């Protein structure tokens, strides 16, 4: 209780003051502190809401980002250029923002019969919020030059997860029954338990992968404690989609990194009704009624998917427009499946862009795992690969792609992975260049490097 009072009373003012200071520092070219503050706050929507009463508090994140952008553009260090910076991820991130802008205009025409870009429209606000995520990727990619800074960002994200766990676990204790799960919002405020569970299950895979790479010491045990807290939160948020996503991610991670751990995972899958807590078992069984039919929630999703595909068939190329589905007056106001939603709202073009983005995420993670120049980098690459797989599964059961709070860290991790790939490529180029130069020197100076040394032999002078 004391911690909660402190956080609610003093942390908003402290963060607000720190944010103003970090913005001022960022304008001088040192964007690191402002960037880390943004990363820390993104999943802590409850904290951001408490900052809003202060002057320009409702634009707090935007002000920090503007400071980072200006500082990054006008004070860019020439030495930060690296081999591999022209990443395919950067191209597809920019393409995503541009196409979604077109899709917003398309949605206005579809709903209201005319093109409009009013900043107060919810669709435009949604576009702006989503565009922050590719922007974060670009900022991380361009401004985090060294590995030290990259792992500092990783530590900041872990710190934010600790606070998210604190709020979530307290809410789980206040609402332990299945009937009260809708009251559990963690730090997200305006989202529900399914989104909170998707946040924890995806990024826990990255933590687990990094845990394997840390040999020993306090950091390893602290990371283990955070992993356990995350798994506890996932289990008692009672999200069936999150359970499936977590199992898929753990299976991939264990198959690549620790095959012995597949044994207990398979045992859980086989005997889940006897191993898992009763509330979790009851939640999983809710998928079907006692007569073998889909429960009401599952059946409503099937029905809404069918209606969504009807809209897609009538607008297959560009869809009905970004953010338009919820204004059609349908039952659930959402498709509860990001793939169906993208097809409906953005058409085949938007769906292809989504698949390209996911492909580049997977490619970047696997490339770092294969070619990273140290164990921690490789672990982050493998974890990001597994995290992307989990996110792909999560989005089969709802929109875990569009919202800033659960999905921003995916783009930030993508920026870290892309930067580490660039560092590894640059390191390899430097090693090859040095090797070639040394070889050239040896070839040009054979008397020095190839001359045989003769030893005195007394028999020759006998």
Asked if 62 and 92 sit in the same domain, the reply is no
Domain of 328? 84-419
Number of folded domains that form the chain: 2
Asked if 108 and 221 sit in the same domain, the reply is yes
CA distance 326 to 54: 32
CA distance 169 to 137: 30
Single out the residue in 41, 76, 111 at which a domain terminates. 76
98 CB-contact burial (10 Å; exposed 0-12 / middle 13-18 / buried 19+): exposed
Task: Please state the pTM of the whole predicted model.
Answer: 0.88
Asked if 140 and 256 sit in the same domain, the reply is yes
Asked if 351 and 272 sit in the same domain, the reply is yes
pLDDT at site 249: 96
**Assigned domain for 128 exists:** yes
CA distance 250 to 427: 31
Single out the residue in 30, 58, 76 at which a domain terminates. 76
Asked if 58 and 196 sit in the same domain, the reply is no
CA distance 86 to 101: 23
**Assigned domain for 395 exists:** yes
**Assigned domain for 425 exists:** no
CA distance 428 to 446: 27
* Whether 407 contacts 400, CB under 8 Å: yes
Tokens found for residue 294: 């889909």
pLDDT at site 121: 82
Asked if 189 and 297 sit in the same domain, the reply is yes
Asked if 70 and 114 sit in the same domain, the reply is no
Single out the residue in 29, 55, 76 at which a domain terminates. 76
**Assigned domain for 103 exists:** yes
Asked if 173 and 308 sit in the same domain, the reply is yes
**Assigned domain for 438 exists:** no
Angle, helices 60-74/11-26, rounded to nearest 10 degrees? 20
Q: How many CB atoms lie within 10 A of CB 109?
A: 14
Non-local (6+) Cβ contacts of 290 within 8 A are: none
**Assigned domain for 441 exists:** no
**Assigned domain for 451 exists:** no
Asked if 200 and 322 sit in the same domain, the reply is yes
* pLDDT per residue as tens, the chain (462 positions): 555 566 666 778 888 999 999 999 999 888 999 999 999 999 999 989 999 889 988 899 999 999 999 987 776 554 445 555 556 888 899 999 999 999 999 988 888 877 777 777 888 888 998 999 999 998 888 876 688 999 999 999 999 999 999 999 999 999 988 888 889 999 998 899 999 999 999 999 999 999 999 988 899 999 999 999 999 999 999 999 999 999 999 999 999 998 999 999 999 999 988 888 888 988 888 765 544 455 666 677 788 888 888 899 999 999 999 988 888 877 667 888 999 999 999 999 999 999 999 999 999 999 999 998 899 999 999 999 999 999 999 999 888 898 999 999 999 999 999 999 989 888 766 666 666 665 666 666 665 555 554 544 554 544
**Assigned domain for 222 exists:** yes
pLDDT at site 341: 93
CA distance 349 to 319: 9
Asked if 129 and 40 sit in the same domain, the reply is no
Asked if 62 and 102 sit in the same domain, the reply is no
Asked if 71 and 96 sit in the same domain, the reply is no
Tokens found for residue 86: 């022209």
- How far, CA to CA in Å, does 13 sit from each of 18, 39, 130, 281, 437? 8, 18, 27, 43, 57
CA distance 314 to 322: 16
- How far, CA to CA in Å, does 208 sit from each of 78, 146, 170, 317? 36, 23, 23, 40
- What is the DSSP track for 59-117? GHHHHHHHHHHHHHHHT--GGG--TT-S-HHHHHHHHHHHHHHHHHHHHHHHHHSS---
Non-local (6+) Cβ contacts of 24 within 8 A are: 67
């Amino acid at each position: 209780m004391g911690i909660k009072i402190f956080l609610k009373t003093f942390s908003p003012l402290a963060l607000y003051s720190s944010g103003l200071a970090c913005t001022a520092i960022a304008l001088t070219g040192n964007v690191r502190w402002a960037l880390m503050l943004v990363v820390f706050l993104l999943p802590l929507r409850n904290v951001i809401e408490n900052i809003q009463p202060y002057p320009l508090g409702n634009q707090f994140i935007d002000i920090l980002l503007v400071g980072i952008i200006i500082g990054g553009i006008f004070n860019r260090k020439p030495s930060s250029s690296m081999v591999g910076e022209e990443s395919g991820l950067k191209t597809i991130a920019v393409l995503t923002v541009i196409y979604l802008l077109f899709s917003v205009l398309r949605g206005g025409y579809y709903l209201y019969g005319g093109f409009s870009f009013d900043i107060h429209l919810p669709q435009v606000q949604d576009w702006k919020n989503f565009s922050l995520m590719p922007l974060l990727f670009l900022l991380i990619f361009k401004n985090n030059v060294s590995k030290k800074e990259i792992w500092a960002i990783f530590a900041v994200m872990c710190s934010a997860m600790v606070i998210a766990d604190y709020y979530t676990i307290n809410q789980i204790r206040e609402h332990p029954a299945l009937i009260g799960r809708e009251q559990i919002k963690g730090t997200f405020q305006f989202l529900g338990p399914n989104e909170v569970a998707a946040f924890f299950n995806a990024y826990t895979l990255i933590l687990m992968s990094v845990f394997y790479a840390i040999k020993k010491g306090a950091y390893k045990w602290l990371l283990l404690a955070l992993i356990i807290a995350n798994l506890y939160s996932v289990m008692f948020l009672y999200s069936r989609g999150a359970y499936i996503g977590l199992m898929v991610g753990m299976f991939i991670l264990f198959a690549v990194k620790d095959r012995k751990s597949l044994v207990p995972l398979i045992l859980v899958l086989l005997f889940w009704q006897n191993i898992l807590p009763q509330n979790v078992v009851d939640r999983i069984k809710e998928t079907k009624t006692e007569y073998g039919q889909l429960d009401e929630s599952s059946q409503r999703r099937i029905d809404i998917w069918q209606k969504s595909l009807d809209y897609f068939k009538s607008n297959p190329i560009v869809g009905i427009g970004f953010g338009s589905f919820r204004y059609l007056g349908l039952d659930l106001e959402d498709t509860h499946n990001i793939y169906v939603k993208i097809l409906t709202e953005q058409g085949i073009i938007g769906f292809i862009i989504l698949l390209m983005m996911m492909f580049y995420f997977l490619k970047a993670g696997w490339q770092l795992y294969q070619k990273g120049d140290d164990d921690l980098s490789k672990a982050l690459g493998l974890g990001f690969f597994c995290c992307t797989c989990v996110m792909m599964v999560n989005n089969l059961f709802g929109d875990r792609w569009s919202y800033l709070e659960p999905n921003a860290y995916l783009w930030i991790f993508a920026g870290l992975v892309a930067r580490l790939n660039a560092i590894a490529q640059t390191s390899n180029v430097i090693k090859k260049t040095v090797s070639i130069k040394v070889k050239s020197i040896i070839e040009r100076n054979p008397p020095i490097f190839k001359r045989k040394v003769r030893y005195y032999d007394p028999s020759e002078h006998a």
